[in-house]
């Protein structure tokens, strides 16, 4: 799934200002009703047409605390060696 381009988002908001319904805008733009509605909702909430794709995706499982754990364990047991 890709983000809707900014010029299309602007056009969707212009259609809303002209009084067009969500269904009409969706038919004209080629996007589903939910996507059209979401453009207007996100603009109202955030005040910008920019997408938030940088917040998508899986979150890292290796937190700062977890990345320090191996170093801490090795410092507590310096004689521990990896098998060759």
What is the count of structural domains for the chain? Answer: 1
* Range 4-34 burial, b when 16+ CB lie within 10 A, else e: beeebbeebbebbeeebebeebbeebebeee
| Long-range contacts, stretch 13-21, CB < 8 angstroms, 24+ apart | 13/39, 13/40, 13/43, 13/49, 16/40
Domain assignment present for residue 82? The answer is no
Domain assignment present for residue 65? The answer is no
Which carries the bigger pLDDT value, residue 13 or residue 63?
Answer: 13
Name the residue range of residue 21's domain: 1-53
Is pTM, for the whole model, over 0.75? no
Residue pLDDT, tens place only, 30-59: 999 999 999 999 999 988 888 776 666 777
Domain assignment present for residue 37? The answer is yes
Would you place residue 73 in the very low, low, confident or very high pLDDT band (cuts 50, 70, 90)? confident
State the average pLDDT over residues 75-84. 68
């Amino acid at each position: 799934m890709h983000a809707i381009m900014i010029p299309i988002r602007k056009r969707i908001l212009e259609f809303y200002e002209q009084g067009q319904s969500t269904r009409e805008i969706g038919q004209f733009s080629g996007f589903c009703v939910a996507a059209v509605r979401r453009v207007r909702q996100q603009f109202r909430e955030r005040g910008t047409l920019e997408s938030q794709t940088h917040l998508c995706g899986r979150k890292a499982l290796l937190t700062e605390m977890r990345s320090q754990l191996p170093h801490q364990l090795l410092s507590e047991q310096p004689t521990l060696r990896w098998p060759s």
